[in-house]
């Protein structure tokens, strides 16, 4: 039986993870869970699973520090996942990572710490889980020529042409996934896909130049790996986060599930197209940021988080999100991003600039 610490238990990923645990009571045991504010819901889950409950800004960290487990499932929002992730690694736990911002901002120190501790960082994001599944049994990463991340394209794939009048309600209406507000808005700007490029870069140790994005509105092919012999492998499943969450928890095994598998004849078509980087400049911004290296990715991640919150509060326009993030990155001198402290400092400074940003 695997003991699990569940961080972000009341969120979209957290609730799906609870479903996976309920379906496999002999395989998984939640020993502790953490939320930020939703204490009543968390206590109810605590009673159901016989787990200890933590809340508040440092609740996730305490949940990891005060409990023993085999795996920590990190599904909070933004950089709040960083310290708990590092603490779990230090304690020798595998990390099932949903909170992509942890790797976007602090990929170098997190992956270095995991390597030193001999623990695995297992992807929960459906795209990275797909790549991870395609790579099982592979001897050497040099056989891989390209990683191809699929993107649903978000709610504005086919219009409107001008995006500056988009409201928070429109941006929060994702066509294929029901997720928390931050990641939903990031999907609408495609910043989410940019962050996933960085996440893949660290998880699979592949340079960003060999990670491509293809728009696939049906969200059935979750990502692909192209090999040097010309073969390409893909992972397909219905768009249901319980599939990658369960795999991250059960890996290296696969467990049964009562979910319906894909019904291929009922799928009218699977379509693919190149992303429109003029309407969605976030992808280019992320590639440029990755090239400049150091703490710039942490700056980008922090600026984006502030920008999304300002957009949701009605303070800036939809198109200002990427503009704000780009301005904050451009205005920040390159700095070292190799330690958690350096990342946290870059994050703090970037947030301050992002809060003060004016068009």
Ligand X SMILES: NC(=O)c1ccc[n+]([C@@H]2O[C@H](COP(=O)([O-])OP(=O)(O)OC[C@H]3O[C@@H](n4cnc5c(N)ncnc54)[C@H](OP(=O)(O)O)[C@@H]3O)[C@@H](O)[C@H]2O)c1
What residues line the site for ligand X (CB under 6 A)? 8-14, 34-38, 57, 59-60, 75-77, 80, 98-101, 125, 177, 179-180, 183, 241
CB nearer to ligand X: pick between 80 and 332: 80
29 CB-contact burial (10 Å; exposed 0-12 / middle 13-18 / buried 19+)? middle
Q: How far is the CB of 36 from ligand X (least distance, A)?
A: 4
CB nearer to ligand X: pick between 48 and 209: 48
CB nearer to ligand X: pick between 126 and 358: 126
CB nearer to ligand X: pick between 145 and 176: 176
Q: How far is the CB of 249 from ligand X (least distance, A)?
A: 15
Q: How far is the CB of 100 from ligand X (least distance, A)?
A: 5
CB nearer to ligand X: pick between 100 and 310: 100
Q: How far is the CB of 282 from ligand X (least distance, A)?
A: 14
Cβ of 204: how many Cβ atoms within 10 Å?
18
Structure tokens at 167: 């409201």
What does DSSP say about strands 28-34 and 52-54: parallel, antiparallel, or unpaired?
parallel
**What DSSP state is assigned to residue 37?**
S
Cα dihedral across residues 349, 350, 354, 359: positive or negative? positive
CB nearer to ligand X: pick between 99 and 152: 99
Q: How far is the CB of 230 from ligand X (least distance, A)?
A: 30
Q: How far is the CB of 193 from ligand X (least distance, A)?
A: 11
Closest CA to 30 of 59, 85, 73, 90: 73
253, 122 Cβ separation under 8 angstroms: no
Residues 6+ apart with CB under 8 A from 83: 60, 61, 340
Structure tokens at 87: 């603490």
In the bound state, the residue with its beta carbon closest to ligand X is 11
């Amino acid at each position: 039986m695997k003991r699990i610490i569940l961080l972000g238990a009341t969120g979209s990923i957290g609730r799906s993870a609870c479903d996976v645990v309920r379906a496999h009571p002999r395989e998984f045991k939640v020993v502790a869970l953490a939320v930020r504010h939703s204490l009543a819901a968390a206590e109810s889950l605590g009673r159901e699973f016989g787990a200890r409950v933590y809340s508040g800004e440092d609740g996730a960290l305490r949940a990891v520090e005060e409990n023993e487990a085999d795996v920590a499932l990190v599904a909070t929002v933004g950089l709040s996942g960083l310290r708990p992730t590092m603490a779990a690694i230090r304690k020798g736990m595998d990390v099932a990572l949903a909170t992509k911002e942890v790797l976007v901002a602090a990929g170098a120190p997190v992956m270095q710490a995991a390597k030193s501790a001999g623990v695995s960082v297992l992807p929960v994001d459906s795209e990275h889980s797909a790549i991870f599944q395609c790579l099982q049994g592979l001897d050497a990463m040099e056989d891989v020529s390209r990683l191809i991340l699929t993107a649903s394209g978000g709610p504005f794939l086919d219009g409107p042409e001008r995006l500056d009048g988009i409201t928070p309600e429109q941006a929060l209406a994702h066509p294929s996934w029901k997720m928390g507000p931050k990641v939903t808005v990031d999907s609408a700007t495609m910043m989410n896909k940019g962050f996933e490029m960085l996440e893949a870069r660290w998880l699979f140790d592949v340079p960003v130049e060999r990670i491509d994005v293809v728009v696939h509105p049906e969200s059935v092919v979750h990502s692909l790996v192209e090999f040097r012999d010309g073969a390409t492998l893909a992972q397909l499943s219905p768009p249901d986060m319980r599939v990658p969450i369960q795999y991250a928890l059960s890996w290296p095994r696969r467990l049964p599930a009562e979910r319906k598998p894909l019904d291929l004849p009922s799928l009218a078509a699977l379509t693919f197209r190149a992303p429109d980087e003029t309407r969605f400049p976030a992808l280019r911004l992320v590639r440029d940021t990755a090239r400049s290296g150091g703490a710039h990715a942490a700056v980008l991640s922090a600026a984006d988080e502030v920008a999304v919150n300002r957009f949701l509060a009605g303070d800036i326009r939809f198109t200002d999100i990427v503009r704000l993030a780009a301005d904050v990155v451009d205005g920040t001198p390159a700095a070292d991003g190799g330690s958690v402290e350096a990342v946290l400092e870059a994050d703090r400074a970037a947030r301050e600039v992002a809060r003060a940003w004016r068009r």
